Structure 1
Amino acid sequence: MTRSLLLATAATVLLPAHAFAQAADDPLPEVVVTATRLPAVVADTPGARVIDRATIDRRGAVFAADILPDVPGLSVYRAGLGGVTSVRIRGTSQDKSLVLVDGVPVNDPSQPAGGFDFSGFDLGDIERIEVLGGPQSSLWGSDAIGGVIAFTSRELDGVRAEVEAGAFDTVRGRLAAGVAEDRYAIGAFVSRFDTDGISAAATGTEADGFDNTTVGANGRYAFSDRVGIDARVRQADSFAEIDGWGPVDTLDTAATVNRSGRARMTVRDLLGLDHQFIAAASDVERITDSAFPSTYEGKHRLWRWQADSRGAGPVRYAVGLEREETEAFLNGSSAGLGVGSAFGTVRWQASDRLTLNLGLRHDSTDDFGGETTGRLSAAYDLLAGLTVSGAWGTGFKTPSVSQAVCDFCFVLPGTVVAPLVPEYATGGEIALGWRSADGRFDGRATLYRLEVEDQIDGFFDPGSFEFYYVNIAETRTDGVELEGGAILGGGFDLSLAYAWTEAVNATTGAAILRVPEQAGSATLGWSGERLSAALTVRAEGDMPDSGGTRDGFVTANLNAAWNLTDRVTLTARVENLADERYQQLLGYGEPGRSGYLGIRLRY
């Protein structure tokens, strides 16, 4: 059944469509992406996708991992509800996905590879999610080999409250308030999620609970038409009962605190440019209580200056300087890395039909030398609603702090371990998009290749129990991404996504673990005068995993909202509608059919 649905999705998505259609009979809007430093139209930007707040609400997404699987080319897997949740972009390992919150890198430098754990990332305060696939080091430096996932917080004017309860004794609440005027804004929010959960181990019998509290605040003030400041802070506290290696039932727990913040000054029309001066930080603390207890802490510090050109001429550009420092505390020891960077990106509207983009960046690391990366992209209007676009870029990633100091390593005397070198990537893609004249249908098909040289991986000898990190020769991912949507009339809309991904070790030919070859999703939405609903069906094919193959699956979620008044909305959602018994990660269970009821208040 899984294969049949995937093939059907692949065929259907070739019809006119757009990945994240909005519920209306009006034309689909032209979507803009901002993580490109210079705002760009998504249809002209290869590998770019945007999920807006309306889509998040319509899908009933609570955490980022609830909606990111809808993006073609992203594979999401978790070690049970509340367990470590990772995202791969285009087959690359999770540490090669750079995660930004309001422009602040939040990847965990204390993790062995430096990836980000999405398990407790609440979407209550998020206005939009942007995904950039392919090497983006020319924009964002190290860690962006596979791509970038950027979250942008929202600014409220009024009060919002939400309460929901349902299966597994789950209770969720949000409260946010703010004032937003032309000259100033101030706001704050708190979100709370608590559930008794299910067993993290698929064969387990005891439930593993999970709770998360996320709080944040924002402020903005304009001293004049030219000078202003703004700031944001965010903190998420999570506590998860997890199961031990196997996985098997244990009483292990993990407590995690994530903090991030940014302060920015904006000065407009200074020497003919608009300037941003940013100081930002993110910290993560993680304490695991198990047979092998551990305490880890990671810190990011970032300083950035960026200047953008003014006006609306055929040439737009942005240039900047950055200094980033990371430090990790690993079970009592500590180490750090630093990098200074200069970057620039330029867009040239060569004609009414041709747009060219070029980005260059030089990163000078304190420990691994310097590297220059670039990305060139173009989009050409073929008329009749057709647009062809393409991109080619390079990327690099330095060893993480944990890898550099060889945390977790066990090396016997006499064993010679080669020093690690940075990973390097090249990637290219070509896309063909179409948009109907009335704006009700659009879609895009993308073909890409991504190669990573000197990828860092762990080496384990089961005979001697030696473990250390090595550079392997090369990995390669070939893929096809199809996406689309349509305004069908009568309040109905349809969005579709499909990805075929072949990720292999180019030296041995072995498949890269935890990357399903096929994955797809389809969402049928409907909006009436007061009632709206969305049915989302997701499918993944078989996936190679540690210890075997994880079977493919098909799941469906239904979300509905009824506006009692302009200020009061009742909500209902059912997850895993068909009560499918499946696993995202081999050996870890997922909830069966579960329902939730809630209420939203606006003032």
Structure 2
Amino acid sequence: MHRFWLTASVLALASAASAQEIIELEGLTVTATAAPIEVERSGTSVSVLEAEDLNDGADALLADRLNRLPGVSFSQTGPQGSTANLTIRGARSRYIPVYIDGILVTDPSGTNVYYDDFGGFGFGNVERVEVLRGSQSALYGGSAVAGVIDISTLPANAPEGTSGNLGLSFGSFGSVSTSARITQRHGPLTLSLGLSRDRSDGFSAASENDLNLSTAAPGDKNDEADGFRRDRLTFGARYEVNSDLTVGLNGFAEEGETEFDEFYSDDQDNNGFPTFNFGDDVYAYTDGTADEISERRARGLRAFAEFTTGAWDHVADVSVYTIDRDLSSPTVGSPDGTPFSSSFDARRLAFSYKTTSQVTSDWRLSFGLNIQREEVEATSLPGGDADITTKGLFAEALWSPSDQLDVTATLRHDDHSEFGGETTGRLAFAWRPTQSTTLRGAVATGYRPPSIDELYGDYVFFVGNPALDPERSRSYELGVDHRFGNGASVSATLFRLDVDNLVVYQAGTAPLFIGTLTNANGTTRREGLEFSFDAPLGERLDVFGNATFMTTDDGSGGRLARVPGREFTLGLDAQLTDRLDMGLVARHVTDRPQDNTAAFALVDMDPYTVVDLKVGYDITDTTRAYVAVHNLLDEDYELVPGYGTSPRAIKFGINASF
């Protein structure tokens, strides 16, 4: 691997040195540094998706679209609404903070504190998405080990007067999605209100390969569809008091319901009592009932002020996020199972402040603080509740000694109520030897604190461990971006992420078999190469693609589960006429590590290729109709052993703006 790093670095440097085209680069990132900055100056691997990139694709979920970005992978245990996991550079959702309109939306009651709704979050009223890759703990605090995802649903620059948009789509599996947003701007006041609704009858979460429909008893087939619904309201108000002060309020409310399938364990030898000799049991995801329900309600509210005093710009905000989840199964088809019901309620109250000044022509300084308190009420917690408070301070310096070079240094210290202090840092550079080429790199440290559930959770066969230490990480990256004179572009990034003190499950021993969590010895490693390109072929055809090559080490010489070694995306967009266009995207995933079935048996995971097609037609300058086909070739594959994926599915839609 060291030889690979050296060879790729030499190739990247050689590519940059040969670049002579002069092209003006555009685009801002609002998340990579403490204050907005041009992407090419940030030194960060960042992808930005605007509304036009999202609105008329074959995907049902935002995560499906993110899945086609370099270094990003998505897996799900069934249809829309089911449990899902998004990874960045092989690091799972617990290492990725997610913000929606400035509100942190990771679930404090989750075992790993991650964003729990990637499996249900659609495209309704999504205006912009930024995906940062690489450790960002120095700016965002704990858990920002792999990157950050920032989602905006409110328009950034609304025109004077009334504007808005409407969206409707329907298709396979009884899916219907609707969205509407209206924005009113009158002088210094801007108001916005959005509504979206997603419905789907779904398909069975149980994989077709594991249903055994020909031999199973009628009640055990569980080939019923697992449906989904989600309603979401967003709102925002912004008022420019004067040239130095703007105040605002934004928030959202959402609720939904998802059907899911529980484990079926057909006990053959133990007279209805669960066994730990899994060879005695036949496990599948087919419990024969259709009444397992997951209900979810989430609310977010944020008040903010942006103001200027002298040479300093300030932003202060306070936000609250609440989430309630209920899981229930009144009946079960498994002879080993029993009906269950559980609930999880969580609240996060957060305050943040940052100030930035261009103190000289060469130096921009930023300082900030964050305070947040997380409270959880759950049936799994002794006493029924627990809470954690975190306080953080950071400083950032951006040094720009010339038009070609920017160096960003960030230092942060957090104080955690359960384990004390943690200091993290990040150093990044961006050097532009020509206006068309950027060399960039970063080194950073990060950490992930144990969650409330990891510390104190108490289940039938599991208890938390209050003695857990935080996971600590080190990340490195080196990249090059280049634009050619004809508008084509290429980008390549080498990356590496090392994690110590990995929190892992420790199985229990006889006679009670009560498991817990512990910090593993050794270093977990993820390293590889991301490559992407975009090439216009004439005025009406554009070809684009990316590839990710990755190797992993779980700390003991094995591979990390569900992290493919090679992922490829290749697509084209064609403007067939002035109003008619077509897009085709293929994603190929191979070199997948073995994975566990429900019976904890390792199975091989086959490569797969999924092709999506879309055709769009501009009815007017403000109204667009489209048809999209997901899994055009009807590929039969699994992302997680035992769970089904969508066969060929078609969607029709129309979007209009005013």
> Which TM-score applies when normalising by structure 2?
0.83
Contact 1:274-1:310 at 8 Å conserved across structures:
no
Between the aligned partners of 2:349 and 2:587, the Cα distance in structure 1 is 38
The Cα of 1:459 is off from its aligned counterpart by 1.4
Identify which of 545, 548, 552 aligns with 2:607. 552
Report which of the two structures shows the higher radius of gyration computed on alpha carbons: 2
Identify which of 527, 539, 546 aligns with 1:490. 539
Question: 2:363 matched to 1:315?
Answer: yes
Between the aligned partners of 1:552 and 1:311, the Cα distance in structure 2 is 54
Identify which of 323, 326, 331 aligns with 1:284. 323
Bigger shift: 136-145 or 348-357? 348-357
The Cα of 1:336 is off from its aligned counterpart by 0.8
SS of residue matched to 2:516? strand
User: 1:380 is matched by which residue type in structure 2?
Assistant: W
Between the aligned partners of 1:70 and 1:311, the Cα distance in structure 2 is 40
The Cα of 1:28 is off from its aligned counterpart by 9.2
Paired residues for 1:109-148 under 5 Å: 109-117=108-116, 118-148=118-148
Partner of 2:405: 354
Contact 1:543-1:552 at 8 Å conserved across structures:
no
Contact 2:559-2:593 at 8 Å conserved across structures:
no
Superposed CA offset, 1:136-160 (max 9, x none): 1001001111111111223255131
Paired residues for 1:363-374 under 5 Å: 363-374=414-425
Identify which of 26, 33, 55 aligns with 1:30. 26
User: 1:151 is matched by which residue type in structure 2?
Assistant: I
CA gap 1:242/1:599 in 2 versus in 1, 3 angstroms: same
SS of residue matched to 2:108? coil
User: 1:34 is matched by which residue type in structure 2?
Assistant: V
Partner of 1:198: 203
CA gap 1:311/1:602 in 2 versus in 1, 3 angstroms: farther
Between the aligned partners of 1:257 and 1:505, the Cα distance in structure 2 is 35
Identify which of 565, 580, 598 aligns with 2:620. 565
Between the aligned partners of 1:58 and 1:315, the Cα distance in structure 2 is 42
Question: 2:93 matched to 1:94?
Answer: yes
User: 1:260 is matched by which residue type in structure 2?
Assistant: G
User: 1:57 is matched by which residue type in structure 2?
Assistant: N
The Cα of 1:380 is off from its aligned counterpart by 1.6
CA gap 1:114/1:407 in 2 versus in 1, 3 angstroms: farther
Partner of 2:231: 213
Partner of 2:341: 293
SS of residue matched to 2:515? strand
User: 1:365 is matched by which residue type in structure 2?
Assistant: H
Unaligned runs of 5+ in 1: 1-9, 18-26
Between the aligned partners of 1:475 and 1:182, the Cα distance in structure 2 is 54
Partner of 1:50: 48
Identity, % of aligned positions: 27
Between the aligned partners of 2:301 and 2:358, the Cα distance in structure 1 is 28
Contact 1:58-1:533 at 8 Å conserved across structures:
no
Partner of 2:448: 397
Between the aligned partners of 2:561 and 2:88, the Cα distance in structure 1 is 13
User: 1:267 is matched by which residue type in structure 2?
Assistant: F
Superposed CA offset, 1:495-554 (max 9, x none): 211111222212x11111111111121221123421222211112112432232332210
How many pairs does the alignment contain? Answer: 575
User: 1:307 is matched by which residue type in structure 2?
Assistant: T
Identify which of 398, 407, 423 aligns with 2:471. 423
Partner of 2:214: none
Contact 1:297-1:329 at 8 Å conserved across structures:
yes
Contact 2:56-2:628 at 8 Å conserved across structures:
no
User: 2:144 is matched by which residue type in structure 1?
Assistant: A
Question: 2:307 matched to 1:267?
Answer: yes
SS of residue matched to 1:466? coil
Identify which of 556, 562, 565 aligns with 1:517. 565
Superposed CA offset, 1:28-58 (max 9, x none): 9623211122223334423222122121125
Bigger shift: 203-212 or 241-250? 241-250
User: 1:590 is matched by which residue type in structure 2?
Assistant: T
Partner of 1:21: none
Between the aligned partners of 1:429 and 1:488, the Cα distance in structure 2 is 31
SS of residue matched to 2:458? coil
Between the aligned partners of 2:433 and 2:75, the Cα distance in structure 1 is 39
SS of residue matched to 1:403? helix
Paired residues for 1:149-548 under 5 Å: 149-155=149-155, 157-202=162-207, 203-204=210-211, 205-245=223-263, 246-249=284-287, 250-251=289-290, 252-268=292-308, 270-290=309-329, 291-310=339-358, 313-331=361-379, 333-383=384-434, 385-408=436-459, 410=461, 419-438=467-486, 440-461=487-508, 463-464=510-511, 465-473=513-521, 474-506=523-555, 508-527=556-575, 528-541=577-590, 542-547=592-597, 548=603
Bigger shift: 248-257 or 65-74? 248-257
Unaligned runs of 5+ in 2: 1-7, 16-22, 212-222, 264-283, 330-338, 598-602
CA gap 1:582/1:544 in 2 versus in 1, 3 angstroms: same
The Cα of 1:463 is off from its aligned counterpart by 4.9
Superposed CA offset, 1:1-35 (max 9, x none): xxxxxxxxx9xxx9xx9xxxxxxxxx996232111
Between the aligned partners of 2:630 and 2:428, the Cα distance in structure 1 is 40
Contact 2:25-2:435 at 8 Å conserved across structures:
no
Between the aligned partners of 1:411 and 1:51, the Cα distance in structure 2 is 41
Partner of 2:64: 66
The Cα of 1:232 is off from its aligned counterpart by 1.2
User: 1:64 is matched by which residue type in structure 2?
Assistant: L
Contact 1:404-1:420 at 8 Å conserved across structures:
yes
SS of residue matched to 1:516? coil
Contact 1:46-1:431 at 8 Å conserved across structures:
no
Contact 2:58-2:612 at 8 Å conserved across structures:
no
CA gap 1:417/1:561 in 2 versus in 1, 3 angstroms: closer
User: 2:390 is matched by which residue type in structure 1?
Assistant: V
The Cα of 1:182 is off from its aligned counterpart by 4.6
Superposed CA RMSD in Å reads 2.3
User: 1:211 is matched by which residue type in structure 2?
Assistant: R
Partner of 2:217: none
Partner of 1:23: none
Contact 1:42-1:49 at 8 Å conserved across structures:
no
Contact 1:65-1:85 at 8 Å conserved across structures:
no
Contact 2:203-2:224 at 8 Å conserved across structures:
yes
The Cα of 1:338 is off from its aligned counterpart by 0.6
Between the aligned partners of 1:315 and 1:302, the Cα distance in structure 2 is 30
SS of residue matched to 2:520? strand
Of the two structures, which has the highest relative contact order with CA contacts closer than 8 Å and spacing of 6 or more? Answer: 1
CA gap 1:519/1:462 in 2 versus in 1, 3 angstroms: farther
The Cα of 1:307 is off from its aligned counterpart by 0.7
